[in-house]
Amino acid sequence: MTSLDEFICGAPKAELHVHIEGTLEPDLMFALARRNGIDTGYNSADDVRAAYQFGDLQDFLDIYFAAANVLVREQDFYDLAWAYLQKAHAQNVTHTEIMFDPQTHTDRNIAFDTVISGLTRALDDAKAQLGLSTGLIMCFLRHLDEEAAERTLDQGLEHRDKIIAVGLDSSELGHPPEKFARVFARARNEGFLAVAHAGEEGPPANVAASLDILQVRRIDHGVRSIEDPALVQRLVDTATPLTVCPLSNIRLGVFATMAAHPLKRMLAAGLKVTVNSDDPAYFGGYINENFLAVAAALELTQDDVVALIRNGFDAAFLPATEIAALHQSLDAYVASAA
């Protein structure tokens, strides 16, 4: 480890783009499959890992949705979230906003209540036992229709106190933001904040439409924004955060190599980029591994790393006092590391 690597690992950080279903490690997948009497179609956790070679986003999504079949009981959702929260805590994440895909479960006749009670019980334990602050983001699956998203929103409204925002994930190509204009408007009117995946595989126009039509506060990924200078200027002027996930982008073929990743150019352009893990069980690492990979490939400085961490704090859906406290924790860490 270089001294910058040690700095990264020890620093307090926020994570703003992680799918709880994407934190399902092969070993837990097997344990849950056994507990629930489900055949995963794999012989061992090593076989599962060997299958994680993705040509594109859809390749990944097919495996990711199939793996979620092992999640059945409230305790399964608890165990899934608790494993992630412990890992995040071990990597010095002090605030995390976690996405979940209710439709992946309700479409298998798992009750929305089962999903959200398992997740929130783990989040409550993380607060009490680890001092980790958290939020939940309810995502709509964009390959399904808007009526299905409306029904999901109805279910989410029964748990509005547990959910900070709505999001939009799954297959970006062929399912543009416009498709979800009405359900996002209703979610915002009901008091939810909004985020959306855009400009991952899809064009920069999806980023602009997510801002204009869905009125999102942050863009998830947004890496293809760099192709459109006018859009870059707009994102800079409005200080719109982009939750970038470097290892995900390489594993899904958005960029050929980490050296070709635009994160450093985006930071230099004044974009509010943050570093996140997306689906850490599938893409080869949690938040620290993402930071380490970009720091090495793009020759980041400690100042670059600090700027990325501060962007994550500023972009968090937290009151200003709590954001200030996060910055102070980093001030103290930087002073102690000097």
Please identify, using beta-carbon distances, which residue of 11 and 99 lies nearer to Zn ion.
Answer: 99
Q: Which of 87, 105, 197, 218 binds ligand HPA (CB under 6 A)?
A: 197
- The rounded distance, in Å, linking the Cα atoms of 278 and 89 is 16
Residue 177 is a binding residue for ligand HPA (CB under 6 A): no
Residue 289 is a binding residue for ligand HPA (CB under 6 A): no
At its nearest, how many Å lie between ligand HPA and the CB of residue 206? 12
Quickly count: other Cβ atoms within 10 Å of residue 51's Cβ: 13
The contact set with Zn ion (CB under 5 A) reads 278
At its nearest, how many Å lie between ligand HPA and the CB of residue 278? 5
- The rounded distance, in Å, linking the Cα atoms of 110 and 76 is 12
Contacts of 31 (CB under 8 A, 6+ apart): none
| 158 assigned to active site | no
Residues between 32 and 91 that touch ligand HPA (CB under 6 A): 57
Q: Which of 25, 76, 97, 279 binds ligand HPA (CB under 6 A)?
A: 279
At its nearest, how many Å lie between Zn ion and the CB of residue 194? 15
Please identify, using beta-carbon distances, which residue of 25 and 278 lies nearer to ligand HPA.
Answer: 278
Residue 15 is a binding residue for ligand HPA (CB under 6 A): no
CA neighbours within 13 Å on the CB side: how many for 284? 17
- The rounded distance, in Å, linking the Cα atoms of 328 and 338 is 15
Cα 323–Cα 129–Cα 74 angle in degrees, nearest 5 = 100
Residue 28, binding choice from ligand HPA, Zn ion, none, Cβ under 5 to 8 Å by partner class: none
Cα 319–Cα 320–Cα 324 angle in degrees, nearest 5 = 125
User: Among residues 21, 200, 201, 289, which one is catalytic?
Assistant: 200
Residue 97, binding choice from Zn ion, ligand HPA, none, Cβ under 5 to 8 Å by partner class: none
For residue 104, the SS3 value is helix
Contact of 134 with 127, CB cutoff 8 Å: yes
At its nearest, how many Å lie between ligand HPA and the CB of residue 306? 26
Please identify, using beta-carbon distances, which residue of 172 and 278 lies nearer to Zn ion.
Answer: 278
Strand order in the sheet with 241-244: 13-19, 93-100, 133-141, 165-169, 193-198, 218-221, 241-244, 272-275
For residue 96, the SS3 value is strand
> What residue is closest to ligand HPA based on CB?
169
Please identify, using beta-carbon distances, which residue of 10 and 253 lies nearer to ligand HPA.
Answer: 253
| Nearest alpha-carbon partner for 164 in 114, 98, 221 | 98
Residue 248 is a binding residue for ligand HPA (CB under 6 A): yes
At its nearest, how many Å lie between Zn ion and the CB of residue 197? 6
Residue 57, binding choice from Zn ion, ligand HPA, none, Cβ under 5 to 8 Å by partner class: ligand HPA
Tell me the one-letter amino acid at 327: H
Q: Which of 19, 105, 224, 251 binds ligand HPA (CB under 6 A)?
A: 19
Residue 200 is a binding residue for ligand HPA (CB under 6 A): yes
- The rounded distance, in Å, linking the Cα atoms of 244 and 258 is 13
At its nearest, how many Å lie between Zn ion and the CB of residue 89? 21
Rounded to the nearest 10°, the torsion over CA 242, 246, 248, 253 is: 110
Residue 169 is a binding residue for ligand HPA (CB under 6 A): yes
User: Annotated active-site positions, please?
Assistant: 200
Which residues lie near ligand HPA (CB under 6 A)?
19, 22, 57, 169-170, 197, 200, 248, 278-279
